[in-house]
Amino acid sequence: MATEARLLLLLFLTAAASAWEMNIRLPTERLAYGGGEAVVAPLIHALRPLLGFGGQLAARAGVACDSWRLAVEAHNVFGWKKVPASCEGYVGHYMLGGHYHRDSPSSSTRPSPTLKLAGNGKEIWVFDIDETSLSNLPYFAKHGFRTTLYNDTCFREYVAEGSTLALPETRRLYRRLLQLGVKPVFLTSRTEDERNITVTNLRRQGYSGWMKLLLKPAVHTAGELLGSAVAFKSGERQKLEDAGFTIVGNIGDQWSDILGAPEGARTFKLPDPLYYIG
């Protein structure tokens, strides 16, 4: 009896402890998910109603859409132009419901203890921008989570507002690396004409102290040639290595961010069910 009572008490305490843990963890998660900033959180929150009855839709369409998303991430489907219409709710909930953030690099890219640094001031970490350092989720949420055809003009207008949000997990990694003496380099398919607004947007979202911001030289054109992102990005990484820097890490949401030598000592692929850039 006494043993049973102790067991019950233990079970009760364990349950209470995990409830307590959940209670203290939840607000943090909400904060991180909302960008950790009061200005950002209401915006994400405001996007949720756009999903309407998406919860039920997502549940119904769940399995097939789940497979579709995996196939996209693994690059088993490619050349697609739209997210299947039946998956709008699923993708929306994936992006806004916390799953996307849990799949982001907060745990997998924690730089220590596996990262061995020389601390010679020549170590850099390459960050992609869109859907890596900054998130265009407000845009995509307003445009059906890519269930409609991509409109480059419309998207560039949104980028020009400089109002994209930080991905909190990436920003955390970025700041940690700065503390460790690793210099951040942004490498993006955004173009030189977008430099000023990109700088403004990065600063607004709490990024500072980067070593370089590398953008594509030409004015952005829709329908870029396949492979051009890989060629541009690997070329820029080569120039950095030629200048004596060591790329200790490289993170992006596209395969074209992390393929093509020199890739960097460690590469990280973030989730992105919204678009694919070759």
Ligand X SMILES: *[C@@H]1O[C@H](CO)[C@@H](O)[C@H](O)[C@H]1NC(C)=O
How many residues bind to ligand X according to rule CB under 6 A? 5
User: What DSSP string describes 197-208?
Assistant: HHHHHHHHTT--
Q: How far is CA 135 from CA 34, 35, 138, in A?
A: 11, 10, 8
User: 4, 153, 225, 244: which one contacts ligand X (CB under 6 A)?
Assistant: 153
Nearest approach in angstroms of CB 104 to ligand X is: 29
Nearest approach in angstroms of CB 133 to ligand X is: 20
User: 14, 28, 67, 151: which one contacts ligand X (CB under 6 A)?
Assistant: 151
Nearest approach in angstroms of CB 141 to ligand X is: 16
User: In terms of CB distance, is 90 or 145 closer to ligand X?
Assistant: 145
Contacts of 39 (CB under 8 A, 6+ apart): none
Nearest approach in angstroms of CB 163 to ligand X is: 16
User: In terms of CB distance, is 23 or 153 closer to ligand X?
Assistant: 153
Query: What does the block give as tokens for 106?
Result: 């907060």
User: In terms of CB distance, is 76 or 151 closer to ligand X?
Assistant: 151
User: In terms of CB distance, is 56 or 200 closer to ligand X?
Assistant: 200
Nearest approach in angstroms of CB 222 to ligand X is: 10
Contacts of 145 (CB under 8 A, 6+ apart): 83, 88, 91, 92, 95, 274
Q: How far is CA 252 from CA 129, 227, 276, in A?
A: 8, 16, 12
How far apart CA 268 and CA 210 sit, in angstroms, is 19
φ/ψ of 93, rounded to 5, equals -70, -35
User: 196, 200, 208, 221: which one contacts ligand X (CB under 6 A)?
Assistant: 196
Q: Which of 83, 101, 210, 223 is nearest to 153 (CA)?
A: 223
Between β-strands 165-166 and 134-135, what pairing exists: parallel, antiparallel or unpaired? antiparallel
Nearest approach in angstroms of CB 153 to ligand X is: 4
User: In terms of CB distance, is 268 or 275 closer to ligand X?
Assistant: 275
User: 154, 218, 222, 231: which one contacts ligand X (CB under 6 A)?
Assistant: 154
Q: Name the burial class of residue 222, with classes exposed (0-12), middle (13-18) and buried (19+) by CB atoms within 10 angstroms of its CB.
A: exposed
Nearest approach in angstroms of CB 193 to ligand X is: 6
Stretch that binds ligand X, among 11-19, 58-66, 146-154, 261-269 (CB under 6 A): 146-154
How far apart CA 193 and CA 232 sit, in angstroms, is 17
Nearest approach in angstroms of CB 129 to ligand X is: 17
Backbone dihedral region of 221: left (phi > 0), alpha (psi from -120 to 50 degrees) or beta?
Answer: beta
If binding is defined by CB under 6 A, does position 179 make contact with ligand X? no
User: In terms of CB distance, is 28 or 151 closer to ligand X?
Assistant: 151
Q: Residues in the site for ligand X, rule: CB under 6 A?
A: 151, 153-154, 157, 196
